[in-house]
Amino acid sequence: MKKLLRLFLLFIGFLLFASFLLYVLGYGYIFKGISTTYFTGHKTAFIDDYPYFDNRVVQNSDKVQQWALAEAYNQTEATSTLDSLHNELETAAFLIIKNDSLWFEKYYNGYDDMSRTNSFSMAKSIVTTLMFKAIQDGYLENINQPVADFFPQFDKRLSIGNLSSMSSGLNWNENYYNPFASTARAYFDDDITAQVLELEVVEEPGKEFKYLSGNTELLGMVIEKATGKSLSDYLSKSFWKPLGMNDDALWQVDSKESGMEKAYCCISSNARNFAKLGKLFINNGEWNGKQLLDSAYIAKASNPAFEETSYYGYGFWLSDYKGKKIFYMRGILGQYVIIIPEDDLVIVRLGRKLIRSTNGDKHYKDFYMYIDEAYKMLNHAS
């Protein structure tokens, strides 16, 4: 019995020492990560995790602009393949917007049209949109403006366009499942600004694509400094209010004290609101007769930044599936706003899981399936 007690005390002592060591070395955020994931029944970040973090409000307008419902709204059933996919991947919302109207809309697993869920990396596309808006508003010069104009410690070759096109050359570790990597620290620690300002350019900027969440975080910091507004306030003023979103959004911040948004992720809103952003892009930046965003910026965002990596532009993923020009927003758990301009089509899917590609394809398997099944439904109705 004494031997067991001694072993138990040694084990407790080891845990206390290990905990102390993690805090001393700057990894204390790991405990928050454990408490907000494993202690809530999850293995990683999840779509309903915003209550576990501090958030800043993205205010909506007093005048909500409701979606028009198509004449054939919800008259076509989801295909059996699509229903099976939603069940397997624990979908929260699936919308098809055709022309100017909601053509199909369905919610699953207790979610509805006002349910907020985490955008994850769809926020990267939104931050790039805010970058272009800040250029349009005169806060930024152009995509070639050096980051050093705002944060002089960075290599003067590094431009804001390099950040948006994922070609910064920064030494950010993007590993999502390594608790000691950059992305885990950014998600759970309480001073993301200090973390980003520790980064260095270790490869020549503007040469090749390398997907790093730190790029978007630094871009968000530049936009905040250039505009003198928080990202949440600038998003509200520039798009959330003009688009007449149906509810405030919440954007996770690192802490109440410093209050920097997690620019690379974590805008919590609903499918109808995310769909409006997709429709704005199809409209080439025009909404209700007002040019909210110059069409030239949308053209820039939706074309490859590098010939060798034709699957990414400025803040958006790109595809030519079915011979169509497609650009889209994507989150790590299968969050999509898929934009197909030639057919005036927006497909929105929010949920808990996705199907990754196994052949090196940069577009995930479920991405293709959502497009295939949406077209089957539209063709069946015609």
Q: Which residues contact 319 (CB under 8 A, 6 or more apart)?
A: 311, 326, 327, 328, 363, 367
Q: What is the pLDDT of residue 177?
A: 74
Q: What is the pLDDT of residue 1?
A: 59
DSSP 8-state symbol, 304: -
Predicted confidence at residue 6, as pLDDT, reads: 62
| CA nearest to 160, candidates 225, 94, 91 | 225
In this prediction, residue 202 carries a pLDDT of: 97
Say if residues 275 and 262 touch (Cβ distance below 8 Å). Answer: no
Burial class of 365 by CB neighbour count within 10 A (0 to 12, 13 to 18, 19+): middle
Please give the pLDDT value at position 218: 98
User: CA nearest 72: which of 101, 93, 48?
Assistant: 101
What pLDDT does 5 receive? 52
Domain boundaries, the chain: 2-36, 38-381
- In terms of phi and psi (left: phi > 0; alpha: psi -120 to 50; beta: otherwise), the region of 259 is left
Token code pair at residue 65: 């602009």
Distance CA 55, CA 17 (A): 33
The pLDDT tens digits along the chain (382 residues) read 566 556 544 545 544 444 444 444 455 566 566 767 766 777 778 999 999 999 999 999 999 999 999 999 999 999 999 999 999 999 999 999 999 999 999 999 999 999 999 999 999 999 999 999 999 999 999 999 999 999 999 999 999 999 999 999 999 999 877 877 899 899 989 899 999 999 999 999 999 999 999 999 999 999 999 999 999 999 999 999 999 999 999 999 998 777 999 999 999 999 999 999 999 999 999 999 999 999 999 999 999 999 999 999 999 999 999 999 999 999 999 999 999 999 999 999 999 999 999 889 999 999 999 999 999 999 988 7
Sign of CA dihedral 350, 250, 130, 288: positive
**Reported CATH class of domain 38-381:** alpha beta
Closest CA to 160 of 197, 119, 206: 206
3-state secondary structure of 340: strand
Residue with tokens 């084990």, as numbered in its chain: 11
Q: Residue 299's Cα: distance from chain center in Å?
A: 20
Any idea which residue has 């590094």 for tokens?
158
Q: What are phi and psi of 229, to 5 degrees?
A: -125, 150
Q: Which residues contact 310 (CB under 8 A, 6 or more apart)?
A: 304, 318
What are residue 336's DSSP bridge partners? 330, 349
Hey, CA dihedral for 293, 294, 300, 302, is it positive or negative? positive
Q: What is the pLDDT of residue 25?
A: 46
State residue 257's pLDDT score: 73
How far apart CA 149 and CA 160 sit, in angstroms, is: 10
Task: Return d(Cα 357, Cα 349) in angstroms, integer.
Answer: 18
The Cβ of residue 204 has, within 10 Å, a number of other Cβ atoms equal to 13
- pLDDT tens string 127-141: 999 999 999 999 999
- Distance, in Å, from the CA atom of 212 to the CA atom of 357, rounded to the nearest integer, reads 19
